[in-house]
Homo-oligomer: A and B are copies of this chain.
Amino acid sequence: MTSQSPLFRKRLKSNAENVEAALAGLLSGEVRAGEIARPERLLAAIRHGVLNGGKRLRPFLVIESAALFGDAFAPAALRIGAALECVHCYSLVHDDLPAMDDDDLRRGQPTVHVAFDEAAAILAGDSLLTLAFETIAAPETALSDRIKTELVLSLARAAGIGGMAGGQALDLAAEKMAPDEAGIVTLQAMKTGALIRFACEAGAIIADADGATRARLRRYGETVGLAFQLADDLLDLTADAETMGKATGKDAARGKGTLVALKGQEWAERRLGELVDEAQALLAPFGERSAILVEAARFIANRRS
C-alpha cells in the first residue's frame, strides 16, 4: 500500500474541513428567501445524514480539478463540491432504507431511518437532492448563469434515471439475477461512476475550459470511478466491519456479481495499477499542477476504508 505525501494528506484534510463548514452553512436553521420555515426535526435528520465527518472525496475531486485552472475558482468549486456532496449523502440515506439495502450502520453511527424514522429519512434525502440544485443556482455561487445551467444539467444527468438512481435500481435487480460482465460495468458506471465522473468534469465546467480539456477530465473521472469501484469490491471481500464502519461482505452474501468475483483478486489488483497509470497519462498535459490529482487516483485505488 502506497502512503500519501504530506501535501496530499494536508490538502485532503483541509478540504474535508472546508466542505464540512460549507455543508453546515447550507444546513443552518436560517430561512432563505422563498422558503417559509425549516422544520427542526427534519433539519436534524438531514444534518445527521450529512455532517458525519466523511472524507468528502467527491468535493475534493471538484476542488482539485478546478484548481488545475488557478486559485480564482476555489470559492465556486467549494460550493459546487458541497452541492455534489448533498447528492451523494441523499443517495446514502435513501440506499440505507429498509426497502433498499436495509443498513442500520454508516460510519459507525445509526443510519438516518434508525436514528429518526423512515419518513424522516425519505424526506431528508428528498430535501438534500433539492438543496444540491438550489446551491448551484444560488446567488452566493460566484459563477455565470451559463456555467450554473451547465452544472445543473450535468449533475442532473449524472444523478438521475440515466445515472446514479438508475444504477441503484439495476443494483437491486442484480440481487435477483446476477448480471454478466457488461451488465456489471454498466451498473457500476451508473451507480458510483457517474457522480465521480461529474466531480472531475465539474472542475473544467467551473473554469469554462475548452471542450477537449473538459473531455480529458471527464475521462480522468471515468478512470478514477472504475478504480473506486474495484477498490470497493476488494474491500467488501477483505475488510471487516470495524474498519469500514458499516456492514461488509454483503455484496457476496446477496449474490451480487462484482468484477472481482468474476475475474479474481489478482486481476483486480493488476487492473487497479493500470487504471492509476491511465489516470496519470490523462493528466500529463496539465504538468506539475496535476500532482495532487495523480495522487488522488493512487489514493482511491489503494484505499483500505
Q: Residues of A with Cβ closer than 8 Å to B?
A: 31-39, 41-43, 46, 90, 94, 97, 99-100, 117-120, 122-123, 125-127, 129-131, 133-134, 136-138, 144-146, 148-150, 152-154, 156-163, 165-170, 172-173, 186, 189-190, 193-194
Contact = CB atoms under 8 A, between A and B. Distances in A.
Nearest to A46: B161
A152 to B, nearest CB: 4
A146 B139 CA distance: 11
A189 B169 CA distance: 34
Contacts of A163: 34-36
B122 A100 contact: yes
A126 B94 contact: yes
A65 B141 CA distance: 29
A106 B34 CA distance: 30
Majority-rule SS of A interface residues: helix
B100 A119 contact: yes
Contacts of A119: 99-100, 169, 172
A165 B130 contact: yes
Contacts of A117: 99
Contact of A160 (B122, B130, B149, B165): B130
B127 A190 contact: no
Contacts of A97: 122
Contacts of A39: 161, 166, 169-170, 173
Copies of this subunit = 2
A174 to B, nearest CB: 11
A243 B126 CA distance: 31
B131 A37 contact: no
Contacts of A194: 36
A69 B41 CA distance: 42
Contacts of A42: 161, 165-166, 169
A302 B181 CA distance: 58
Contacts of A118: 99
Contacts of A37: 162, 166, 186, 190
A149 B133 CA distance: 10
Nearest to A166: B39
A125 to B, nearest CB: 7
Nearest to A191: B36
Given A36-B186, A133-B133, A134-B153, 4 more contacts: A42-B161, A130-B160, A145-B148, A152-B152
A145 B144 CA distance: 9
A187 B251 CA distance: 42
B94 A189 contact: no
A34 B197 CA distance: 10
Nearest to A99: B118
Nearest to A129: B129
A130 B148 contact: no
Nearest to A198: B34
B156 A137 contact: yes
A94 B97 CA distance: 13
